[in-house]
Every structure is written in C-alpha cells, then in structure tokens.
C-alpha cells in the first residue's frame, strides 16, 4: 500500500512539473509573439511622430508634452536610439517573415509530394488490381487448359487414298437402278479429312462417244477452265475421291453421211468406252457422268443414257424420268446457258419497282396436248388446252392488272422451233424473252406434259431465264417436278409451285402477295441464280459441292492473303519503350498475353446444323472459314452447367458494378481479344503516336499496320513497344482496298479498323468491343453517316455527313468488323466496286457498309456520341476537301445503280439510340 502511494505521489509531482513546464512554454510563446508586435506598433507610432517632428521642426505645439523639457542633444540621442531599435526590430521581423515564407514553401512542397504520393499510390493500386485480375485470368486459363480432355481443332489434315480403284465385277442392271450412296459408292476413298479430291478424264484423251457424235467443244474447253479454278481438282488419280466424265452435250457430226452410221452408233454414248476407262474399276463406282445441256433444250432429244449400262456411276443431267432418277444419288442440274465464268453482274435485274408492268406473262406454244381430259359445259377439253383458254380469258378481263400471254410462236423469228417437239416450246429470241421478263412481276412456267418426266432441260432453262431477269417463276404442275439441286436449295422461297388444277385460283393468289414478299422472293431468286446457276463455273462448283455435302466432307479452307513484313533480316525496326500518360485511373480490364480466337472448330458440324442457311442465306458452301459471324451461342445458363470453359462471367455469375464489370468480359461468348488494323501512307510520326497510345489497352491481341507507301519505312524510326506484337505489312500497291485484306495473321474474329490519325480513348475502344460482341454480324463503330435522297433531282442519293439521329453507315475509320467480311470483300464484291475505290482513292468504307448490309439485312450499330475525329498537328485530312464529298456522292449512286437497284437491297436505316 505504501509502495502504491509513493508511486502515485511521484506521478503527481511529475504531472505538476509537466503542467508548470507547459505553462512556461505558453507564457514564453506569448512573450515571443506579443512583445514584437507591441514593439512594432510602438516603433511605428514613434516613427510617425518623428516624421511629424521632422516635417514640422518649427512647430512645438505638436511635440509630446514630455519632450519639451528635453534638450536638443538628448532629443537627438533619444531619436537615434529609437531608430536603432526600430531597425533592429524590422530586421528581425524580416528574418522571421523570410523564415515563415520558407516554411510555407516547404509546407506546400510537402503537400504536393503527399498528393503525388497519393496519386502514385492510387496508380500503383490500380496496376496492382490489373495484375491481380491478369493473374486470376491466367490461373483460370491454366486450369481450363489442364482440365480440357480434347485438343483444340485446327485445319483438317488431308488423309487421301494412295491406290487406284480395285476391279469389281459388273453389277446387274437391277442393282444399278436401285443405287444409293450406301450401296454403290466407295466411301473408303473419301476420308472426312481428304479434302474431296476430284479427277477429270480429259475428253480428248478418253472419248466416250460413238462415231458420228462428239461433245460440244464449248463445254470441253469451259469445263477444263472451270475445274482449273476449283480447289478440289487433282491430277493424281490414285488419291481421287470421285472421277468426272464429260459425256454431253452430244452433237451430231453432220459432215458424215448418214448411211455410214450403223444403228448402234445412233446411240451417242459408247458403253464399251465407259467400261474401258482406266479407273472405271469394273462397275463405275465413284464416277460422275456429266451430261450438261446447252444447245438443245427440248425434251424431244434422246436421253443420252437410254440403253447404256452406266453401272454404279452417278448421273448428272437436266432431263430425268421418274423411273431412271435415283433420289439422293443422281443429281438434277440446270443447263449451262450462261458464260464460262467471271463477273456476272452485268446480268443484274432491276429489283425495283416491286410490281412491274405485267403481273403475269408467258411465251410458248403447246405442240402436243396431254390425254388427260376434264369435263366442262358438257364438252371434253384437254387440261392444257383448258389452261390456255382460261389464261386468254383472264387477259381480257377488265381488271387493272396487265397480263401478257403468247401461245403461238412465229417460226420465222423463234430460235427453238424444232420439228417434232412434244411439249411446251420456247417462243421468241433470247433477247425478246429477256425484255418481256424484265417487265413481268411473275412468269408462268409449265411442267412437262408427260407425267413420267420429273425434270427437263426446257423446264430448268425457263426457271433460269426467269431468275436472271428478276421475274418470280409460277410453276403450273409444280407438284410433279423437281428443280436443280433441290436437296440443298429451298426453292419454295424462290418460286411458286401450283398443281395444274389450281389455275383458276392463280390470279387471286398472285394478288395476295405484298410488295415486301415480292421483293423478298426476287432477292432470293437472285441469290440462287448468281451463286449456283449463272455460269459454267458456278454450275461445276455447285455439282462438286453438293456431292461433297452428301458425304459430310467440309469444304477446303478459304485462302488468306500472305502477310509480308516490310522488315527483313538486314532491316530490323528499332524498338523503344514509351511512357504514355494514362487516360483512365480505373482498371478497364486484365492485361493478358495474346490469345487467338479459336478457328475451324465447326469443320464437320457446320453443314449439319446450319446447312440450309449456308446454302440459302448468308453462308458460302464452297469455302470453309475460320469462324462465322452467325456461329451459334450457348444459352445463358450453359456456362454454369458443363460448358464453362472459356467463359468469364461478371462477378463469377453474380454480376456487379464497375469493379466486377472491368474484371471480365462477361456475356454469352467465351474469352476473346481483338486486333487493330491501321492503314497508313507517309505519315510516320502520326502513325507512331497512334501506336504509342495503345500501350496498356486490355484485350488487345496485336496491331497490324498495312504500309501503303511504295517507300519502305525509314530505318531511323523508333517503333513504340506497347506490350503486344506490332506487324508492319507491305502492301502490293497503294490502294484503300488494302484496309480489308484478309491477312493470314489476323488471328482474332474482332478487327478494329482505325485510321492512323484517329484518337480513341481506351474506354471508348473497350465499350465498342463489348457492344460488338453482342452484334458480331454488324459493323459497330463511332463516326456515323447516312445516305439522303436528293429531293431536288429526285433520282439520286447524296452522301450526308451532317449531325443527325438518322444513320445508315458507320465509317470504318474507327469501327469493329468481323474478320469474315474481309474475305467476302474480296470474294463476293464485284471487281467493279474495288476498281471504283481505286479510281477515286475513296469510298472503301461505303463499299464495306454496302456489303455487310447486303449479307445481314441489318443496319450498322453506332456507339458513343462521336461523329468525327480531330487530329491536332496532323496534315490536312482528305475529308476536308470538297472533292472528297463529291466523290462520295458519286460512289453512293454508282454502288446503288450497280448493286442495290440492280441486284442488292437498300441500306437499312437505323435511328441512333445507343
């Protein structure tokens, strides 16, 4: 207890001492601050008084009362003393003021340092967060790589046969008539990864026609030429999957006297010559016999295969009877009426107006009526004669609809009047029929008179001519026939199929079609005609593609453009690390190593799941692409139930705000990155500055610079190191079309096409990327434009760049585009479009908008409020020149005349809401 009291007493004494010391410090502080102030005030008063005394030396009234008793010497001494004190105090005050100012400066400096440290701390914290996110994403990617139990698919490796077909005994005719792929085709020669090699027998080296007959020379030449452009052609018969034999069109050699031709030689095809083909293998399996009609389109011509044992060969021709045609094995094709190949756009038919001069038209003559009779008004009429009578009466009615029917041909001018014709014959010349069809909304096409015929060359030729001119075929007897390639083409979207008995309902039915459906069928007919029927090239490619499709063998991969670097072994770029000021404080996403978009994942499932769309809509059945904008996506819950690999849901599926949003792309598409493609021409420093600004951009895979200048880059240039590969590609020539080259090192589906002088913030780029992921089949970008109708002339379009809520284009100077459209730009667009771009050195962005709008039937998507871009310090932009806009007016109208009015649809107009 005593010890405690002693401790308390010592603490109390210690506290008293501290208290006294504190008071003493306070008193001294007050003295140090108050005394100088009082002194300063007093000296200031004395100085004022002395000034008054000095200025009023002869006045004793103003002097202080106590100074009157001082002598002059004392007064002077007193004044000197006060002045000395004043000077001393002023000096001390100045020193104190200097110290105070220095302390304030140091305080401000420390405050600035504190703020800088805070900013640096925030920056480092942001970098740390980015690294944490990147590490997390890398860990997820590593775990997925370890957990996956199958490797990523790549291009299929070819596995082909290496020996000639074995000789097998000839099968009976009964077996041949019942042929199917399962019974008459050797699948062992056609591996899924074989690439479907096709071998062509030379018609000159291996003739299969009897004496007095020959194959049309035009077909011989064009077939070789067309197959030469087909990637499936092989010169090695050991690895071939199928063997093509050209057996028609057979022409009679009229120079040879008829008495020198035996009865057996009246049959054009020589059975023995077929059997002696070197790779026939005894029964003709895997052989395809091509009978391509071109001249004689009548059904009266003798069937080329009649009386000939074709074994297990596949027959390809336009004329078939029900008894001969083997469904799923033989193939009905269209006659090769068109040119050998090349650009068929000069044959474009006007899309507008939807309704033409004639609602319905027909030109033809019935040479022999069917024996089927109907009873009407107690009189017997043949069905086809009744149809003629009804149509004649229809054309004479008082309806506002106009009809044109011609049921009698003029032999003097008709080009298909062959004696002995037993069906509907063509009337008029090709040019006169084409002129009539261009004035007809619908055209009547009669099925063959004989019910035994499933298809004829004449029927297929009439459909060909109708689609070429944009008239919608109405096939009377459509329940009886089959059209070319109908196992893959949806003909009901192109033509109207009616039984003959419904002819009286024909006018009513046609009147029910609105303009929108008329245009839809006309566009679909245009697509089918152009892609599969228009030329010999398209016919041959389609025949091969259909047979390959039956075997579920994928097409060959599409060819990319080689990416030749401007650098070489002796010229290597100088890399330099640049410090670019951060544009955003917050984290915009993880920084990852380059990750290429998975390619060729649907080699064998694509045609099974989306085959009809590929043949009839947006697809291309002749090439295999790394990926498609229309690739299907999984349902939203699949990524949590067994299909989670590759997905990065926001907040691991719980969602979240900005922090969680920036950590993962989310959405219903797996992880991916994008490539930036820059087109440049002699603006080196502008280009380098643009590349430098990309440092630290999340989800950036690589940067491709297309060097359009003929001069190589200067060796003195210092290329910024931005953390991702920068490839500088040498262009073959200076062309704005190079902006859309499908280069082989475009490794992502998303391509950000950017002008070298465009300045986009990182958050804008990523926002556009996230939007594009939800609209992958469209152009998604920043500067919007639209095409406006010229109300002054009323017959043309204007390119409009004014600020507007209406837009129909998004310029590709700053836009995301799917890689697939780069291939289509060079494969689908007519060459005349690219030539016009080169002529004006302008309008490539408009052409791409035309292309995507045509393929998707959708408008582009504009993001952010940007309408244009400014580049301080850049040379004057081409877009500031009046000539630039005049050329774009011309481009819009040229493209519209050449594509939209003639062949394609109009732009969709989007009212900006995003």
Q: What is the C-alpha to C-alpha distance for residues 245 and 274, in angstroms, rounded to an integer?
A: 9
Q: What is the C-alpha to C-alpha distance for residues 823 and 557, in angstroms, rounded to an integer?
A: 12
CA angle 521, 426, 534 (to 5 degrees): 45
- Smallest CA-to-CA distance from 822 within 842, 847, 843 is with 847
Q: What is the C-alpha to C-alpha distance for residues 681 and 685, in angstroms, rounded to an integer?
A: 11
Longest dimension (CA), the chain: 172
- Report the run of H or E that residue 610 belongs to, with start and end: helix 606-616
Q: What is the C-alpha to C-alpha distance for residues 454 and 325, in angstroms, rounded to an integer?
A: 8
Q: Whose structure tokens read 């699948």?
A: 187
366's torsion region: left (phi>0), alpha (psi -120 to 50) or beta?
A: beta
Assigned token pair, 570? 């002796």
Q: What is the C-alpha to C-alpha distance for residues 223 and 340, in angstroms, rounded to an integer?
A: 8
Catalytic residue among 486, 845, 881, 882: 845
Q: What is the C-alpha to C-alpha distance for residues 201 and 376, in angstroms, rounded to an integer?
A: 57
Q: What is the C-alpha to C-alpha distance for residues 454 and 479, in angstroms, rounded to an integer?
A: 10
Residue 126, C-beta contacts closer than 8 angstroms, at least 6 positions apart: 585, 586, 587
Q: Work out the burial of residue 230: count CB atoms within 10 Å of its CB; fewer than 13 is exposed, 13-18 middle, 19 or more buried.
A: middle
Assigned token pair, 559? 């060819």
Residue 682, C-beta contacts closer than 8 angstroms, at least 6 positions apart: 709, 711
- The strand pairing partners of 134, in sequence order, are none
Helix (H, G, I), strand (E, B) or coil at 638: helix
Measured torsion, CA atoms of residues 581, 585, 590, 593, in degrees rounded to the nearest 10: 10
Helix (H, G, I), strand (E, B) or coil at 252: strand
- The strand pairing partners of 445, in sequence order, are 475
- Smallest CA-to-CA distance from 63 within 75, 77, 80, 81 is with 75
With contact defined as beta carbons under 8 Å apart, do 782 and 760 qualify?
yes
Distances (CA, A) of 459 to 116, 333, 362, 425, 766: 84, 11, 13, 10, 55
- Is 845 in the active site? yes
Assigned token pair, 383? 């069905």
Catalytic sites, residue numbers: 845
């Amino acid at each position: 207890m005593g010890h405690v009291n002693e401790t308390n007493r010592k603490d109390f004494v210690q506290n008293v001492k501290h208290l006294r010391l504190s008071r003493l410090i306070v008193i001294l502080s007050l003295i140090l601050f108050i005394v100088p102030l009082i002194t300063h005030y007093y000296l200031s008063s004395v100085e004022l008084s002395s000034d008054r005394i000095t200025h009023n030396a002869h006045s004793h009234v103003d002097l202080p009362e106590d100074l009157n008793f001082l002598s002059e010497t004392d007064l002077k001494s007193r004044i000197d003393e006060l002045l000395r004190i004043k000077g001393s105090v002023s000096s001390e005050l100045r020193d104190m003021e200097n110290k105070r100012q220095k302390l304030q400066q140091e305080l401000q400096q420390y405050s600035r340092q504190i703020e800088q440290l805070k900013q640096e701390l925030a920056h480092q914290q942001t970098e740390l967060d980015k690294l944490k996110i990147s590490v997390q994403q890398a860990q997820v990617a590593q775990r997925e790589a370890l957990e996956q139990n199958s490797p990523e698919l790549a291009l299929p490796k070819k596995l082909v046969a290496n020996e000639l077909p074995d000789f097998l005994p000839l099968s009976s005719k009964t077996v041949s008539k019942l042929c199917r792929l399962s019974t008459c085709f050797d699948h062992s020669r056609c591996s899924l990864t074989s690439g479907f090699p096709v071998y062509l027998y030379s018609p000159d080296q291996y003739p299969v026609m009897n004496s007095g007959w020959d194959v049309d020379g035009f077909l011989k030449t064009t077939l070789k030429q067309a197959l030469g452009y087909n990637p499936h052609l092989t010169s090695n018969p050991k690895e071939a999957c199928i063997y093509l034999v050209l057996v028609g069109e057979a022409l009679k050699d009229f120079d040879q006297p008829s008495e020198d031709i035996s009865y057996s030689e009246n049959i054009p095809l020589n059975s023995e010559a077929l059997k002696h083909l070197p790779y026939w293998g005894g029964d003709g399996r895997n052989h395809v016999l091509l009978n391509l009609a071109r001249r004689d389109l009548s059904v009266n011509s003798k069937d080329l295969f009649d009386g000939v044992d074709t074994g297990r060969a596949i027959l390809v021709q336009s004329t078939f009877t029900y008894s001969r045609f083997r469904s799923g094995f033989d193939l009905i094709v269209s006659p090769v009426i068109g040119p050998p190949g090349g650009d068929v756009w000069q044959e474009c038919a006007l899309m507008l107006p939807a309704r033409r001069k004639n609602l319905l038209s027909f030109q033809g003559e019935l040479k022999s009526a069917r024996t089927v009779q109907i009873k009407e008004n107690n009189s017997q009429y043949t069905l086809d004669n009744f149809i003629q009578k009804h149509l004649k009466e229809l054309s004479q009615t008082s309806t506002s609809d106009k009809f044109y029917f011609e049921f009698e041909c003029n032999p003097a001018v008709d080009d298909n009047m062959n004696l002995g014709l037993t069906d509907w014959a063509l009337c008029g010349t090709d040019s006169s029929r084409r002129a009539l069809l261009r004035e007809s909304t619908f055209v009547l096409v009669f099925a063959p008179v004989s019910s035994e015929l499933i298809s004829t060359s004449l029927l297929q030729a009439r459909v060909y001519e109708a689609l070429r001119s944009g008239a919608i075929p109405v096939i009377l007897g459509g329940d009886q026939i089959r059209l070319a390639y109908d196992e893959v083409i949806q003909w009901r979207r192109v033509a109207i199929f009616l039984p003959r008995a419904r002819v009286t309902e024909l006018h009513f039915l046609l009147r029910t079609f609105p303009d929108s459906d008329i245009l839809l069928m006309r566009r679909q007919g245009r697509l089918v005609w152009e892609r599969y029927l228009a030329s010999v090239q398209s016919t041959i490619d389609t025949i091969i593609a259909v047979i390959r499709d039956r075997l579920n063998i994928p097409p060959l991969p599409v060819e990319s453009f080689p990416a030749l670097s401007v650098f070489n072994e002796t010229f290597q770029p100088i890399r330099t690390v640049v410090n670019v000021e951060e544009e955003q404080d917050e984290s915009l996403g993880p920084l990852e190593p380059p990750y290429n978009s998975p390619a060729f994942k649907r080699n064998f499932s694509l045609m099974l799941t989306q085959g009809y769309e590929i043949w009839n809509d947006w697809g291309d059945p002749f090439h295999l692409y790394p990926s498609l904008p229309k690739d299907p996506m999984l349902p939203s819950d699949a990524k949590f139930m067994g299909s989670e690999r590759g997905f990065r849901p926001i907040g691991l599926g719980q969602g979240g705000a900005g922090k969680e949003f920036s950590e993962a792309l989310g959405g219903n598409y797996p992880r991916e990155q994008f490539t930036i493609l820059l087109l440049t021409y002699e603006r080196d420093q502008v280009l380098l500055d643009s590349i430098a600004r990309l440092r630290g951009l999340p989800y950036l895979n690589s940067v491709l610079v297309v060097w359009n200048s003929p001069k190589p880059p200067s060796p003195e240039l210092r290329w910024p190191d931005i953390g991702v590969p920068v490839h500088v590609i040498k262009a073959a020539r200076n062309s704005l079309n190079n902006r859309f080259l499908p280069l082989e090192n475009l490794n992502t589906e998303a391509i950000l096409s950017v002008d070298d002088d465009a300045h986009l913030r990182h958050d804008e780029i990523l926002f556009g990327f996230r939007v594009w992921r939800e609209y992958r089949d469209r152009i998604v970008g920043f500067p919007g434009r639209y095409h406006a109708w010229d109300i002054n002339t009323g017959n043309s379009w204007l390119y409009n760049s004014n600020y507007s809520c209406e837009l129909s284009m998004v310029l590709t100077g700053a836009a995301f585009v799917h890689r697939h459209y780069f291939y289509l730009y060079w494969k689908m667009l007519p060459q005349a479009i690219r030539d016009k771009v080169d002529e004006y050195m302008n309008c490539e962005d408009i052409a791409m908008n035309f292309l995507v709008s045509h393929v998707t039937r959708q408008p582009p998507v504009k993001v952010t409020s940007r309408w244009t871009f400014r580049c301080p310090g850049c040379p004057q932009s081409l877009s500031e020149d009046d000539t630039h806009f005049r050329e774009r007016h011309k481009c819009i109208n040229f493209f519209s005349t050449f594509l939209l009015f003639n062949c394609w649809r109009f732009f969709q107009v989007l009212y900006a809401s995003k």
